[in-house]
Amino acid sequence: MTAKPKKDRVGEILDSLKKASAGDYSAKLDFASKDDELGLIADAVNKFLKKTEKKLSSAKPSSEPVEDAGRYRHILDNIEESYFEVDLKGNLTFFNDTVLRDLGYSPEELRGISFSRLVDKSNAGKVYQIFHQVFLTGQPIKGFDWEILKKNGETIHVEASVALLYGPDGKPAGFRGIVRDVSWRIQSQKELQKSEEKYRTILEIMDEGYVEEDLSGRITFANDAACRIMGYSREQMYSMHYREYLTPAVADQLKKIFQRVYRTRNPERLVDYDLVRKDGSVITYEINVALKYDDSGAPCGFRILTKDVTSKKTAEEQRRKSEEKYQNILEIMGEGYLETDIHGVLTYVNDAGCKLIGYSREELLGRKFEKY
């Protein structure tokens, strides 16, 4: 049998005590035990009710109701959750000390106040709908979020559970609820959202392509730059396998890098790999691969940052060809040509220069020109 939630058990204890204060000692708590604190309290309440009922039947006065009520009130005032009771009109009739601490009111200021004064208009409508539903169905509603106003006007984000409160005649007399301050959770969610928006913006405005792939190598995320680079839409990119945009040789090389990164947990870089765009054209890229982890810390995929080095590679090739071109001109010209550093040490001499001086290139390079 599943144990009753703590909130429900606290509510039943309070109901039995309220009924007792009205002269009804018939309530019995079915979760009395010696296994936990509330079970012990329930056992004590049952004994108290039984003993009080017996004493009343023999017309003997008892002071135990006052003593036990004080004991349970002490427990209620020291729990972290706020506990409140309102009548059917929404006026506060009972609350624990946590309510006072959270809202900043004195007992005199809060007692009898309308619940509508503790919320703004939007939350007033939300709370009314919840209470109305509880009244119509008789079923408690748990874990709904809303906002409550402190005395100083500040807002507290809370999570609440509400149930019907019955009078001695067994008819609905109001509502009781447990409220927990979850402002820290809402703030954390907002900060997380801001952080995600910040880094998402960075990813979308950067020139480098950024891609995330699962452990099988299928794309799960791609920024705008990656889509532009590869020529695909974001929808087309998602679920593509890396072999679909790489040549077979490069794909095999990337697979080995993935396996090594997964095994060592260290990021790696692959220089000058060819990427095949949607239109069939090939561009040269440099990629950095790192492991991606899930919330539990387990590897769940790879993060890939790509940088276009096509223009760099083209420039290097042009420079090499230019150097070869002018090298050939220097070698076939009839005039001697040589170069030295600032200290006069020969760093280059063409064939005509070697013939003019009478030494081989190996004999000339690295020596001072003044010696000749």
The neighbour count for residue 196, using CB atoms within 10 Å, is: 10
320 has pLDDT over 80: no
- Computed over every residue of the chain, the mean pLDDT equals 81
pLDDT digits (tens, 9 = 90+) for 177-195: 888 888 777 777 677 677 6
Residue 66 DSSP code: H
Residue 59 has pLDDT above 50, yes or no: no
CB atoms within 10 A of CB 225: 20
For the stretch 211-223, pLDDT in tens is 999 999 999 999 9
pLDDT category at 372 given cuts 50, 70, 90 is low
pLDDT band per the 50, 70, 90 thresholds, residue 101: confident
Which of 34, 26, 70 has its CA nearest to residue 52? 26
Structure confidence at residue 266 (pLDDT) = 94
Question: Class for domain 206-312, per CATH?
Answer: alpha beta
Q: Check if the beta carbon of residue 286 is closer than 8 Å to that of residue 311.
A: no
> Taking a C-beta distance cutoff of 8 angstroms, is the pair 134, 163 a contact?
yes
pLDDT tier, 286 (very low <50, low <70, confident <90, very high otherwise) = confident
Q: How far apart are CA 333 and CA 300, in angstroms?
A: 63
Select the more confidently predicted residue: 256 or 287.
Answer: 256
| CA distance linking residue 41 with residue 14, whole number of Å | 11
pLDDT band, very low/low/confident/very high, at 259 (cuts 50, 70, 90): very high
Topology adopted by domain 6-186: Beta-Lactamase (3.30.450)
Domain regions of the chain by residue span: 6-186, 206-312, 327-371
Q: Which fold has domain 327-371?
A: Beta-Lactamase (3.30.450)
Interaxial angle between packed helices 37-57 and 6-21, expressed in degrees from 0 to 180 and rounded to the nearest 10? 20
